[in-house]
Amino acid sequence: MSFPLSAYLLAFLSGALATAASLPLWRAWCVRTGLVDDPGHRKIHDTPIPLAGGLAVLTGLLVPLLLGAVALQLNVLPASAVEKISYGFEKRGLQLAAILVGALGMVLLGWLDDKHELRAGPKFAGQLGIALLVALAGVRIKLFPESPLSPVLSCGVTVLWILTVVSAVNIMDNMNGLCSGLGAVGAAAFGATAAMQGQYLVASLALLAAGALAGFLPYNYPKASAFLGDSGSHLTGFLLAVLAILPHFYSVQNPRPLAVLAPLLVLAVPLGDMICVMWIRWRAGKPVWEGDTNHLSHRLVRLGLGKPQAVAVICGLHALFGAFAVWLGGGR
């Protein structure tokens, strides 16, 4: 994992600090522009809460990347780090550009939904367009033997994967700290896996995302002075979806077929929760997209846990799955 290790720590801390520092500014802007979650009969808050989280997390991603690009130009980083990062940019430059455009697109789409409550059709079309853009740029799941149809099949599976993960993460944004906590832990697991495989740029990007999400938690857990909003939950789901694709879980250097299960393990909690609630809704004859209180978080609360404790339990379970995935996918 020696990149050096300090570079990974810098990526995490810079993301966390940029998010935490920008959040008060975005929160004030949201209050001024009316981008808030108003109290209601199904809400636990009695005052409007700014939907500033997604904008702050995006800032936590972009500001360190901008500063890192300046540092590369000024040659202030260690030569070994510059060489490895530059190599990664050469190999994945187009993919990373598409990911950043996709992240911006997801935040914009979520912001529009927060502001205007988009209908399902336009919202899905936006998600589909962003997922297709990323897949066409080369960020793809490769499960099929080489053939003329394999790029089309890989592209289709990738788009379906991104849409599924975004939806799974979005519907788990139902308690303070849950979505951002799951995102931070999941991104850290993907970062650790990539670092152990010597994929320096992917690891740095994943740990930057983990830090950006972690920097939001003090404002959202256990009590919230800001919410992620749809912009934040869309961004979190998108980041986890693409970070699950970028590392090489199976390679000549790491020839373990079971390692390809690592992404499913990292995302077992949100994906499993989505499957369970959809099954319950289907059995009850209700639309599978209709919201309810059958999520794992709600069930833990009904068992007697407080909401902060329920979130902690779920994130702890998520971390256990992530640790197992790192062992499975990161070892040599």
DSSP conformation letters of 24-63: HHHHHHHHHHT-EE---TT-S-SS-EE--HHHHHHHHHHH
Check whether 158 has a pLDDT greater than 50. Answer: yes
What gap in Å lies between CA 185 and CA 188, rounded to an integer?
Answer: 5
What gap in Å lies between CA 118 and CA 170, rounded to an integer?
Answer: 15
pLDDT attached to residue 151: 84
> If pLDDT is split at 50, 70 and 90, which confidence band does 329 have?
confident
> If pLDDT is split at 50, 70 and 90, which confidence band does 74 have?
confident
Query: Tens of pLDDT along 60-71?
Result: 999 999 998 887
Lowest mean pLDDT among 12-26, 36-50, 219-233, 313-327: 36-50
Q: Mean of the pLDDT values across residues 91-118?
A: 93
pTM equals 0.93
- CA dihedral over 263, 267, 269, 274, signed as positive or negative: negative
pLDDT attached to residue 1: 47
Residue boundaries of the structural domains of the chain: 5-255
Q: Mean of the pLDDT values across residues 309-316?
A: 98
Check whether 198 has a pLDDT greater than 90. Answer: no
Q: Give 3-state DSSP helix, strand, coil % of the chain, rounded to 5.
A: 70, 0, 25
For residues 20 and 218, the answer to whether their CB atoms sit within 8 Å is yes
| CB contact burial 15-25 (16+ within 10 A = b; e otherwise) | bbbbbbebbee
What gap in Å lies between CA 199 and CA 191, rounded to an integer?
Answer: 9
Check whether 107 has a pLDDT greater than 60. Answer: yes
Average pLDDT, rounded, for the chain = 89
**Residues whose CB is less than 8 angstroms from the CB of residue 196 and which lie 6 or more positions away in sequence, other chains included:** 1, 326, 330, 331, 332
Query: What single-letter amino acid sits at 157?
Result: V
- CA dihedral over 248, 92, 61, 169, signed as positive or negative: negative
Q: What percent of the chain has pLDDT over 90?
A: 68
Check whether 96 has a pLDDT greater than 80. Answer: yes
